[in-house]
């Protein structure tokens, strides 16, 4: 499948929106659903620039339009005369990177660009030292990905831009699935530093953009609850994120995950010289934690960071049961006054809903729980204020767990 065609010159398509949608766009709404649009004037192709206008045809914003998809429009500028060209994208990318480095203090590895929070819905860029991994989920942005790559290569220290445009969600937008080096050197592996530990990152083989940077500050924070000689269980350990920080703090760690994930964790444990403090258990998290309940071993700290159990609203009931069960098991595996570090990356599970699940699991387990820290994604993952809690897909809760 070819990339989206360039927009032909002519009358700009217009999306007429109702007053409530008009107000929300001015307040910060950047993703317009079909229900927001009363009338579409013109025949835009997917990715064409269109205007969002009020009921009288007065300009509100420029957007990328995709008439056959949801969202139907992604707002990119509130300025009528602003040119949406390569220079526009370059300015946005440079501003996002500068903010993270100069204001937030990030360096080395971080989320460099995060969609609508940085002014371009449908664009995500993660930086892993000299490599940038880019994901595009908007036909309009797809037309400018080479310009975006060029802007990224202009940032000090970046030598490679990889596209991880292999998510099946792109097919619903009429976009091809692609994965590989987009620009720069053919370098796809890096060793990154996160607090006191190092990780191998393969941007072509790892999940999503190559590595879960959203939990970075949460993993560093978890080390505060681990000390020399303490026992820590890392459930769904994947590349060893939480467990490595615990081991670096002096804890003895058991990492639990499937075979392929454990293989990656082993490499990272060796990279950090922590072999003497880390052991491994290959298997399914639900089954293995249930088996462990019948054994005497208990832990000072348990981390559980599962995949998203709710991919759509229809999954919520099943997801709630899964979160309940795994957290029940983990609470039962803690010593009295132990620490549970538990996460949910399901956007359809609200922070309030997740706390309710944890409270119910604690009651079922005969435990009392208190929230010590309630965290979300790292600061390099900003959330538009208008989205409220709905924008905070990641929940990471630190709990004190005691017997009743």
Q: What angle do CA 9, 37, 177 make, to 5 degrees?
A: 65
Please say whether the beta carbons of 65 and 72 come within 8 A. yes
Contacts of 389 (CB under 8 A, 6+ apart): 350, 351, 352
Active-site annotation holds for 330: no
CA atoms of 349 and 371, how far apart (whole Å): 18
CA distance 338 to 331: 8
Catalytic residue among 65, 132, 345, 396: 345
Q: Is 139 helix (H, G, I), strand (E, B) or coil?
A: helix
In degrees rounded to 5, what are phi and psi of residue 241? Answer: -50, -65
CB 397 within 8 A of CB 375: yes
Q: How many CA atoms lie within 13 A of 5 on its CB side?
A: 5
Determine the Cα–Cα distance for residues 35 and 20; give it in Å rounded to an integer: 11
DSSP conformation class of 120: -
What is the phi/psi pair of residue 50, to 5°?
Answer: -135, 170
Transcribe 165-218 into DSSP letters.
E--GGGGGGT---EEEEEEE-S--EEEEEETTEEEEEETTTSSTTSS-GGGHHH
Residue 123 dihedral angles phi and psi, to the nearest 5°: -130, 125
Which letter does DSSP use for residue 389 in this model?
A: G
Cis peptide bond upstream of 71, omega within 30: yes
The answer to whether residues 222 and 163 touch, using CB atoms and an 8 Å cutoff, is no
Which residues make Cβ contacts (< 8 Å) with residue 296, sequence separation at least 6?
none
Tokens of 301: 């700290």
CB neighbourhood size of 164 (10 A): 22
Catalytic sites, residue numbers: 345
């Amino acid at each position: 499948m070819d990339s989206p065609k360039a927009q032909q010159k002519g009358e700009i398509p217009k999306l007429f929106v109702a007053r409530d949608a008009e107000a929300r766009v001015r307040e910060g709404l950047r993703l317009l659903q079909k229900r927001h649009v009363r009338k579409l004037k013109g025949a835009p192709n997917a990715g064409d620039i269109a205007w969002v206008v009020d009921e009288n045809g007065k300009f509100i914003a420029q957007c990328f339009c995709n008439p056959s998809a949801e969202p139907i429009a992604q707002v990119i500028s509130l300025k009528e005369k602003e040119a949406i060209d390569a220079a526009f994208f370059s300015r946005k990318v440079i501003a996002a990177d500068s903010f993270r480095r100069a204001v937030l203090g990030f360096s080395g590895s971080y989320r460099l660009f995060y969609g609508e929070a940085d002014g371009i819905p449908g664009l995500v860029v993660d930086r892993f030292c000299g490599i940038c991994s880019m994901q595009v989920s908007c036909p309009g942005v797809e037309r400018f990905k080479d310009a975006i790559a060029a802007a990224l290569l202009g940032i000090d220290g970046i030598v490679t831009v990889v596209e991880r445009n292999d998510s099946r969600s792109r097919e619903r937008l009429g976009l091809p699935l692609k994965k590989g080096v987009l620009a720069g050197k053919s370098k796809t592996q890096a060793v990154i530093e996160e607090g006191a530990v190092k990780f191998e990152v393969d941007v072509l083989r790892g999940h999503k953009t190559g590595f879960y940077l959203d939990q970075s500050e949460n993993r560093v924070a978890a080390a505060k609850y681990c000390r020399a000689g303490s026992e820590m269980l890392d459930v769904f350990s994947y590349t060893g994120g939480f467990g490595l920080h615990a081991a670096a703090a002096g804890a003895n760690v058991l990492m639990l995950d499937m075979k392929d994930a454990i293989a990656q964790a082993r490499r990272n444990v060796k990279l950090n010289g922590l072999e003497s403090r880390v052991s491994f258990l290959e298997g399914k998290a639900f089954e293995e934690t249930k088996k462990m309940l019948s054994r005497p071993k208990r832990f000072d700290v348990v981390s559980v960071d599962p995949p998203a159990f709710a991919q759509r609203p229809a999954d919520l009931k099943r997801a709630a049961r899964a979160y309940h069960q795994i957290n029940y098991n983990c609470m039962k595996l803690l010593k009295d006054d132990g620490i549970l570090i538990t996460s949910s990356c399901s956007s359809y599970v609200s922070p309030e809903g997740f706390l309710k699940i944890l409270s119910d699991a604690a009651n079922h387990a005969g435990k009392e729980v208190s929230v010590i820290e309630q965290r979300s994604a790292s600061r390099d993952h900003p959330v538009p204020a208008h989205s409220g809690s709905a924008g905070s897909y990641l929940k990471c809760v630190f709990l004190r767990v005691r017997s009743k």
